[in-house]
Every structure is written in structure tokens, then in C-alpha cells.
Amino acid sequence: MKTSKVTKPKSETTVIVGMSGGVDSSVCAALLKEEGYNVVGLFMKNWEEFDEHGVCESSKEYADVVRVCEKLDIPYYSVDFIEEYKTQVFDHFIEEYKLGYTPNPDVLCNREIKFKVFFERALELGADFLATGHYCQTKLDANGKYVLIKGADPLKDQSYFLYTIKSEVLEKVLFPIGHLPKTEVRKIASKFDLATKYKKDSTGICFIGERNFKNFLSNYITFEDGNFETLDGVVVGRHTGATYYTIGQRKGLGLGGQGEAWFVVGKDIKRNVVIVERGETHPAMYADSLIATDMSFTGGEFKKNLPFRCKAKIRYRQQDQECTITNIIDGKIYVEFDVPQRAITPRQSIVFYDGDECFGGAMIEKSGPNYYEQNKDISPSI
């Protein structure tokens, strides 16, 4: 583990580990303790409601944190950010769904909670560094500022969700497992005989966990039945609420009949209509440009000469896509891709890469004209 940021003896360096109750943060604490740091486990409670099975997820996770910390013989504490999470992340998440968008709460949670209020609390408690179990890395750039680097495991890299973190915060953050593959992290957990060694990776909504998603949303949003329509306005079925569907979705539509599968290619929230067409490569799902807003760059501002060639992702786990940032005007960034992109989705993030460096990103406002609108055939392009 690279810890070149450390300037004093490890025994005098306090590292607070953000512990979630998962295997990744558990291994972070174990590695740091083994290296001789003064390690403290800190659990963040952001949600306390019971799920549909009567289980309080945060209580379960904290119990695992306690077991791991006692095994490692390190102190541990819990902090409560339920109100901050509700007002700064969850309320926004629900409001976006009400407007018909498909938001990504993980990006907002990292920006507003994990690397803001939680980070600040760790420093208040005397931390020299905050460590987390994210699969990311950092390094000094030519200007002496810390930048965000992809995790070494391409299947686990989480830089997509952390693009809003600024250099001054990265300077005080450690990613102890960012240079490791997940398989090695599991081996280390077994070596230390941690209670989380066989625990599955968490999925579902950030800090809320796995739920029946539609049932969960129905507690906060009133869904109204409406029509599935084709681009020509032909009604082909009924849906249970337009806000629940997302661009590119295939599963859960309940539409059958002869021919290729149906896919969501658009939504008209004012009319409560979900627009669908047949075929995974229908041209209405593809576009080769987009406009994004709410930009965030590690160094604080974009300092490249335009047009700038780089790579980008418009969703997590997507392969890096060759693109050009053509312009930045009035708070909006304009991007053109070398090949058409499938299901460009408003309110999702586009995240930019220069080699392995994640230098920033933005929130997608809208795609450029899709191939159906341009009367283009998608097949030769992909």
C-alpha cells in the first residue's frame, strides 16, 4: 500500500477508517493496523428504517463493524448523519424520480456525505487521514496536486462515483485497497479471520440496501398508470408509472408479442407516457453527442485546451469511450463520441479520463439528436 502522503511516524499518524460493515473497509482497517498506524474505526449511520423483512440494515452492518474492530483490537465509534443524508441526498433522489429522471445517489452521497460531512467529522476527531474501502488510487500530478486514479482492478474500479472529490480532500484520503484485485482483498480478510470475510458485496440504494425498488419508491411517490406508446404514437400496452422506467430498459415492461424485445427509448412525463420500440439496436436509443452541466473537476476547474481528446463513461462499468470535449459555454460542457452511445440518460453522470486519471465529470442534461431523429442506421456503427 502506497502511503507517501504520510510525513511522520506511522505510530503517531491517526487514520480513521470509514467502516461500512463490508469486507473492503474491514480489510482497509486490517492493513493499516498491520502497517503500524493508529487506526480508529468509524461507522456512519445514514438510514434507520426497517426493510420489508423487518430488518434494520444499519444495525446489522454496525454489528459487523464491532466484530471486526474487536478482532483487530482497534477503537470504534458510530456517527449519525441521518438528517444530512435525508436532506442532502435522499430528498433530492426522490424529487428527481418525481420529475421522471433516473438519478444516481452514489455520486451525490460521496460528494455531500462521505467526503464532506463524514470527512470533516474525521478531521474533527483528530484524524490525519480518512481511509475508505473504495477501489481507487491517488497520485501527485506535475503541479504537486493529488489527482484521482482508477483502481487497479478494472472490474471494481469506483472512480466513476468519486469524480467530485477535490484535490485538497484527496490529499487527506487513503485508499488502502485501491492497488489490489478483489480476489486478493478476500484472501486478506481470510488471513485476518475477519467476520466479513465471506460477506457479499453490498448492492441496492446507497446506505439503504437491497429492496423491492418499486415498493420502496411507492412509499414516497404516487405512481399513475399510463400508456406504452411507440414513436408513431401507437399504444402497445399499459405501464404502472412513467417515473419508474429508464432509457434502455428491457426487463419488467410486460410487453410481448411476435418480434424482437421491447425497449424504453424515451419518456413523456407530462403525458405519463413511456415510449418503446422493438430491438436492442433501435436507432432511437443511440446518439453520438451530449450536453452536461453541474461540472466538477478535481483541480477545481477545467484547464485543458479545447477541443480536448479524452475518454469517458456515461454509466458505471462501461468501457472507456473515446470522445472529444468540444466546448464549455455558460456552465455547460459539450461532448462528442467517436461511436454512438446507447441509452444516454439525463441526470446520470458522464465521467472523464485522461489515461488512468479521472479528472472530473458532469451531470448529463440531454443527449444530442438520436439516430432515429437523424434518419441514420445504427447497425454499421457498432
Catalytic residues: 109, 206
Place of cell 485546451: 305
Q: What is the DSSP letter of 201?
A: P
Q: Where are the alpha helices (DSSP H) in the chain?
A: 23-35, 57-72, 82-85, 91-98, 105-109, 118-124, 167-170, 182-191, 213-217
**Burial environment of residue 10 by CB neighbours within 10 A (0 to 12, 13 to 18, 19 or more):** middle
CB 344 within 8 A of CB 287: yes
CB 78 within 8 A of CB 68: no
Q: Find where cell 442534461 sits.
A: 365
Smallest CA-to-CA distance from 204 within 364, 23, 26, 47 is with 47
317, 372 contact by CB (below 8 A):
no
